[in-house]
């Protein structure tokens, strides 16, 4: 505060000179109206990023992120160890998760929550038995039938089974025992396969009420002692590709009740085998129209199967030829643990890294378009509409 | 009865042809070793661990040899140790199993990775190592699932690594 006379004089001069230079004052800002943002028209370049929030696991969430404007569109809350997937029509995000009545403790409730992707708000729920498989990021811990009429939720107590749910009527229809096999790989309107320690697939066919009508077991297509496959398979137009720790690609044709096993092929040359390996969490993504398979690859030994890729390798799924190797600046952004590619004609490759970056690349050239730092705490699963 | 006698006699003779006295001793040795390891089982140990613990600095580091297939927060950084759950938590009765090499004595040990349950994530000393870890279809070697799943209070807090015994070569 100015107390002496000289100070008061200077202050008056300063105020007068300011008035004489500033001219007329601009009009005041108009009153603002509080609104709620809408999601806007759907874009193929949107990506749903499942953040498991390891440090506070009861508070995981899904971020909806726009790969063109590089901004967060909104969030869906997903509780503890969530299983997340989109409905076949892209309108709903379904989340199987766990809540406790007192925050981190108390009575456990498992529930499948249905969220409207136009508003990112919850529209309904189905309370399920308190035994949904609590595990890390997977595309197969909650799945839809191709027509969207059934939702399948793997249970683990540790006995393995899965629940069949009706998302329209919001009720649990049935529980199917899977004899130790686990996860749900859906096919068509009414078939579900689970993967077994024996290297086989157990496939259950359901009737219109979600009850089992038959089951088959495939031939073994991998040996868990010699070269396990990642359970995080890559969806194909006619089935799924299971990639092994050493880089063998086992393409399985799901169009028949007993899945057909194709001759496996390798991501690596004989010289590279055992040195270069696929690794991470979501270890492959396919651009279906162009038949391009993207895999995060790293140099490592046994036990390195969760290490992220220092490079993305691009393969032609028909010729099995490697077409590109794109290095990741892992010093700056961390290694690539999960990949997803948009399905449009100008596709984007989305990469979640071990240090919580989301990288956005041109999927045809590998050119880095954007590096979004700190997209959540531990983003691990990438789903696209 | 004659049929039974003949059955057991044939069985005994067949066993004698296929085995030696040395193998019998080896088998007995295995049984005795197994019996000696019984007090090391995790449920027995955790039942007695009602006392303060003082983890070593090594137990608080991810590269500690016993943590070769651990995936989670080290309980040694959360009020427990590599063999003790923090106060107020409950050990998971079901676990995943690993085999880790101890460079100090050159032996391989079978270790049990129990989760400690009933509180939210500890959030400190996250460690993710995966020697011989397998995906969920071989559950006993999988470190991704919440092994607190069968606890009355199934929230996950942190993980320990408890020696069960020397791995047979």
- Provide DSSP, B40-68: GSHHHHHHH--S-----TGGGSTTSGGGT
Write out the catalytic residue numbers of B: 96, 115
Give the least confident one: A26-30, A138-142, B20-24, B56-60.
B20-24
In Å, how far is B14's CA from the nearest CA of chain A? 31
pLDDT tens sequence across A90-122: 999 999 999 999 999 999 999 999 999 999 999
Q: For residue A241, which of A203, A292, A309, A276 has the smallest C-alpha distance?
A: A292
Contact: B133, A196; criterion CB under 8 Å: no
pLDDT tens sequence across A313-326: 999 999 999 999 99
* Per-residue pLDDT at A76: 98
Q: Does B132 touch chain A (CB under 8 A)?
A: yes
In the structure, what pLDDT confidence band is assigned to residue A236 with cuts at 50, 70 and 90? Answer: very high
Mean pLDDT by 10 residues, chain B (169 residues): 45 43 40 38 48 92 97 98 97 94 97 96 97 96 96 96 92
- Assembly ipTM: 0.91
pLDDT tens sequence across A254-290: 999 999 999 999 999 999 999 999 999 999 999 999 9
Question: Taking the CB of residue B64, how many other CB atoms lie within 10 A of it?
Answer: 20
- Option in A56, A104, A183 nearest B123 (CB): A56
pLDDT tens sequence across A296-316: 999 999 999 999 999 999 999
Contact of A312 with A306, CB cutoff 8 Å = no
Contact: B150, A98; criterion CB under 8 Å: no
How many contacts, defined by CB atoms under 8 Å, are there between A and B?
92
* Per-residue pLDDT at A149: 98
Task: For A271-300, give the DSSP string.
Answer: TTBTTEEE-SSB--EEETTTTEEEEEEEE-
* Per-residue pLDDT at A137: 77
Percent of chain A with pLDDT over 90: 92
* Selected residue of B125, B132, B137 to mutate for chain A interface (largest A Cβ count, 10 A): B137
Q: What is the mean pLDDT of residues A128-157?
A: 96
* Per-residue pLDDT at A189: 98
What distance in Å separates the CA atoms of residue B61 and residue B50, rounded to the nearest whole number?
24
- Does residue A230 surpass a pLDDT of 60? yes
In Å, how far is A108's CA from the nearest CA of chain B? 8
Residue A107 tokens, joined: 């009575």
In Å, how far is B120's CA from the nearest CA of chain A? 6
**CB half-sphere exposure, A351, CA atoms < 13 A:** 36
Query: Which residue did the predictor score with more confidence, A239 or A5?
Result: A239
Q: Does A99 touch chain B (CB under 8 A)?
A: no
Contact: B137, A224; criterion CB under 8 Å: yes
DSSP label of B91: E
DSSP label of B139: G
* Order of strands across the sheet that contains A348-353: A336-341, A348-353, A358-362, A368-372
Chain A, 314 to 343: residues with Cβ < 8 Å from chain B are none
Q: Does A245 touch chain B (CB under 8 A)?
A: no
Contact: A195, B120; criterion CB under 8 Å: no
- Option in B120, B144, B150 nearest A56 (CB): B120
Contact: A105, B155; criterion CB under 8 Å: yes
What distance in Å separates the CA atoms of residue B60 and residue B76, rounded to the nearest whole number?
5
A240 Cβ contact list (under 8 Å, min separation 6)? A185, A233, A234, A251, A252, A254
- Residue B54's alpha-carbon distances to A42, A239, A257, B81, B124, in angstroms, are 55, 53, 57, 7, 17
Contact: B137, A195; criterion CB under 8 Å: yes
0.80 surpassed by pTM: yes
């Amino acid at each position: 505060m100015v107390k002496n006379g000289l100070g008061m004089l200077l202050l008056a001069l300063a105020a007068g000179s300011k008035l004489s230079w500033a001219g007329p004052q601009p009009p005041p800002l108009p009153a603002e109206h509080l609104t709620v943002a809408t999601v806007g028209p759907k874009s193929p370049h949107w990506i749903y990023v499942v953040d498991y929030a390891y440090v506070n696991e009861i508070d995981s969430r899904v971020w909806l992120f726009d790969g063109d404007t590089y901004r967060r569109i909104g969030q869906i809350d997903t509780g503890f160890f969530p299983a997340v997937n989109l409905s076949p029509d892209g309108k709903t995000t379904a989340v199987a998760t766990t809540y406790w009545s007192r925050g981190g403790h108390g009575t456990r409730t498992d529930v499948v929550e249905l969220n409207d992707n136009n508003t990112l708000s919850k529209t309904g729920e189905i309370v399920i038995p308190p035994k949904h498989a609590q595990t890390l990021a997977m595309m197969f811990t909650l799945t839809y039938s191709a027509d969207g009429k059934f939702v399948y939720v793997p249970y683990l107590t540790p006995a393995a089974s899965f629940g069949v749910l009706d998302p329209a009527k919001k009720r649990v229809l049935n529980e199917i025992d899977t004899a130790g096999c686990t996860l749900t790989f859906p096919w068509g309107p009414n078939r579900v396969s689970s993967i077994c320690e024996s290297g086989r697939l157990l496939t259950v066919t359901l009737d219109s009420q979600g009850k089992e009508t038959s089951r088959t077991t495939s031939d073994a297509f991998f040996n868990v002692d010699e070269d396990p496959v990642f359970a995080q398979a890559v969806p194909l137009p006619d089935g799924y590709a299971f990639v092994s720790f050493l880089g063998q690609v086992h393409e399985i044709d799901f169009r028949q009740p007993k899945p057909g096993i194709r001759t496996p092929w390798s991501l690596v040359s004989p010289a590279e085998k055992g040195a270069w390996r696929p690794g991470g969490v979501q270890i492959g993504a396919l651009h279906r129209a162009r038949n391009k398979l993207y895999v995060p690859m790293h140099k490592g030994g046994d036990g390195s199967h969760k290490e992220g890729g220092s490079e993305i390798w691009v393969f032609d799924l028909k010729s099995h030829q490697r077409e590109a190797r794109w290095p990741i600046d892992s010093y700056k952004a961390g290694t690539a643990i999960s990949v997803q590619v948009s399905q449009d004609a100008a596709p984007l490759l989305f990469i979640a890294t071990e240090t919580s970056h989301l990288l956005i690349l041109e999927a045809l050239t590998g050119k880095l378009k954007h590096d979004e730092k700190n997209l959540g705490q531990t983003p691990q699963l990438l789903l696209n509409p | 009865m004659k049929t039974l006698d003949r059955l057991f006699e044939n069985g005994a003779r067949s066993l004698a042809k296929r085995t030696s006295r040395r193998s019998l001793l080896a088998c007995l040795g295995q049984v005795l070793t197994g019996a000696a390891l019984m007090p090391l089982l995790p449920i027995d140990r955790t039942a007695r661990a009602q006392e303060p613990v003082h983890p070593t600095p090594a137990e608080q580091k991810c590269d500690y040899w016993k943590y070769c297939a651990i995936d989670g927060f080290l309980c040694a950084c959360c009020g427990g140790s590599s063999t003790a759950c923090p106060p107020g938590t409950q050990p998971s009765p079901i676990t995943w199993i690993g085999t880790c090499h101890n460079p100090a004595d050159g032996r391989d040990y079978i270790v049990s990775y129990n989760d400690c349950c009933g509180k939210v994530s500890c959030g400190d000393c996250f460690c993710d190592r995966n020697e011989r870890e397998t995906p969920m279809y071989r559950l006993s070697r999988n470190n991704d699932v919440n092994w607190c799943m069968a606890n009355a209070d199934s929230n996950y807090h942190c993980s320990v690594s408890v020696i069960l015994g020397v791995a047979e070569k």
